Amino acid sequence: MKVQGSVAFVTGANRGLGEQFVRALFDAGAAKVYAGSRGLKRVTVPGAIPVAVDITDHESVRAAADQAQDVTLLINNAGLSTQADVLMADLDSFRLEFETHVLGTLAMSRAFAPVLGRNGGGAVVNVLSVLSWISITASAGYAAAKAAEWSVTNALRVALAEQGTQVTALHVSYLQTELAAKVTAPKSDPAAVARATLDGVEAGLHEVLADDFSKQVQAALAVGPEALYPQLAGRPALI
């Protein structure tokens, strides 16, 4: 998959990592970038084509796919965080997380799969999280949804391979964006993460691990719960 000359569609493109994806795509030579957002006036990157889309509204998703029939690269970036605690949060917060990250990503991927197939295969990028692999009680809804999105991503990767569509998952910890504004832990530069992800797409990577913590957590998966959750043994938590 070559980014130069590609036609990309980015969801959640009006701010944060999504906006940086739009900029990185143009820097890498993309021929056209559709910038998906729930409000057209929110898209400010020069040259981007604003497209109104709400990934939780399947009619909106279908309309976006109908408008962008020349897409060769889909970046499923749109997301949110309700900070749903595992014991105290309203279950509607969990539902919203799943509607957005799991069903929204699936709806976009399904709608654009035939478009990508007709245009030679192309690629899909799903923006996941280190919380796909490790959970925290204070954002259990987000972590659970990202874990499910990871599973859906794996299924999409296998299903879309038949039509020559590459599926790349991005795993990253905290970013210097509005979503993590109150977090005091180390954060990655979203512009650098966007560039690294596009490099990973061009290299044919199935997964891009954008920071050391994501690599540490992935390695701990093979060890067991004690490695991921040292607090179970009275030691400090990883996150």
* Residues involved in catalysis: 142
d(CA 130, CA 67): 33
46, two tokens: 């020069």
Comparing CA positions, the residue from 14, 49, 1 lying closest to residue 198 is 1
Q: Are 129 and 171 in contact (CB under 8 A)?
A: yes
Give the three-state DSSP class for 167: strand
- The helix or strand, by DSSP H or E, that contains position 239, with its residue range, turns out to be none
38-to-14, 42, 46, 151 alpha-carbon distances in Å: 9, 8, 18, 26
- Residues 173-180: contacts with CB within 8 Å, 24+ apart? 173/129, 173/130, 173/210, 173/211, 173/213, 173/214, 173/239, 175/16, 175/17, 177/15, 177/16, 177/17, 178/15, 178/16, 179/16, 179/79, 179/80, 179/81
